[in-house]
Amino acid sequence: MITQRPRLSLWQNLYLPEILRGMWITIRHMIRFKQVTCEYPEKPHAVPANFRGLHRLIQRPGGKERCVACELCLTACPANCISMVAADPGDPSVEKYPLRYEIDTLRCIYCGFCEEACPCDAIELTPHYEFASHRREDFMYTKDRLLDNNRFVPEGERVSKVQTNETYLRV
């Protein structure tokens, strides 16, 4: 299949009638087609539930984080944006917990490898994506702020595709 090269007729070479024909296509589009742009700041863009946005740390029923500080998310992260200090909570039912858990969202590339690697469904990327700020500190998500991000997802729901809706964990 070879692309054809047109020979312009005199009429087409005159150019003005062709302009009008082109304008006709544009006008037809204007009349026939509905609006395709979205008025962004007024109407936020609706993203699917599995959109990879801001992280959250999922809680146990008591309000404590579910994370057991196994550090698989650190290992899986290609951008090295997660840092963690593990400690013994002194609670016989929990072996280890993250004393500090920090995500540098300026380094994060939102690949979702952390939620895929997590063996206890403790971290997840929520569909929330509007967290711009003027200050650098606002992008450092500490453990408390990550637990606070649970408000972006309806309670008891999972948005990630790689995790399950059921839980098999001892809580």
- Chain Cα centroid distance, residue 161: 12
Q: How far is the CB of 131 from other proteins (least distance, A)?
A: 16
Q: How many residues belong to the site for other proteins (CB under 8 A)?
A: 44
Residue 81 burial by CB count (10 A; 0-12/13-18/19+): exposed, middle or buried?
buried
The only residue of 1, 20, 31, 132 in contact with other proteins, by rule CB under 8 A: 1
Radius of gyration of the chain, Cα coordinates, nearest whole angstrom: 26
Please give the biggest Cα pair distance in the chain: 90
Ranges within 17-56 binding other proteins (CB under 8 A): 18, 22, 25-26, 29, 36, 47-48, 50-52
Q: Is residue 6 at the binding interface for other proteins, with CB under 8 A as the rule?
A: yes
Could you say whether residue 84 binds other proteins (CB under 8 A)?
no
Q: Does 111 bind other proteins (CB under 8 A)?
A: yes
Q: Distance from CA of residue 20 to its chain's centroid?
A: 45
How far is residue 94's CA from residue 104's CA, in Å, rounded to a whole number? 26
Distance between CA atoms of residues 83 and 88, nearest Å: 17
Positions touching other proteins (CB under 8 A) are 1-3, 5-6, 8, 12-13, 15, 18, 22, 25-26, 29, 36, 47-48, 50-52, 70, 72, 75-76, 78-79, 109-113, 116-117, 119-121, 125, 161-164, 166, 168-169
